[in-house]
Amino acid sequence: MGDGKKEIDFETALAQLERIVRELERGDLSLEKSLELFEQGVRLSRECQERLNEAERRIEVLLQDADGRVFTSEFCDAESSLGEDDEQEPDEEEIPF
């Protein structure tokens, strides 16, 4: 039968996981159906977590400095530091060579 695993995107997996949680919370399912949904939910949760981890690794690669060191900051700090960098660029341009 093979793996038969069809890759779905993060948003689809998350929506499926939310649907499963709602069904389980209703509490009107048989034990067998509840276990089946729980297994699917655990699988989806792991897939979502792995995708988040992968995205984090990709972001870290993008945030490496020239020496290969990863720098991190809070998202809002990154936005404010971008604005500061923009302000510093004109100063750097003013230096004659």
Q: What is the pLDDT of residues 5-56, one digit of tens each?
A: 567 899 999 999 999 999 999 999 999 999 999 999 999 999 999 999 999 8
Residue 69 — φ and ψ, nearest 5°? -80, 140
What are the residues facing 64 on neighbouring strands?
A: 70
Task: Flag whether pLDDT at 89 surpasses 90.
Answer: no
Dihedral angle of Cα 74, 12, 14, 79, to the nearest 10 degrees:
10
Neighbours of 44 (CB within 10 A): 21
CB 52 within 8 A of CB 11: no
Task: Flag whether pLDDT at 65 surpasses 70.
Answer: yes
Please tell me the CATH code under which domain 10-94 is placed: 1.10.287.1040
Give the model's pLDDT for residue 58: 87
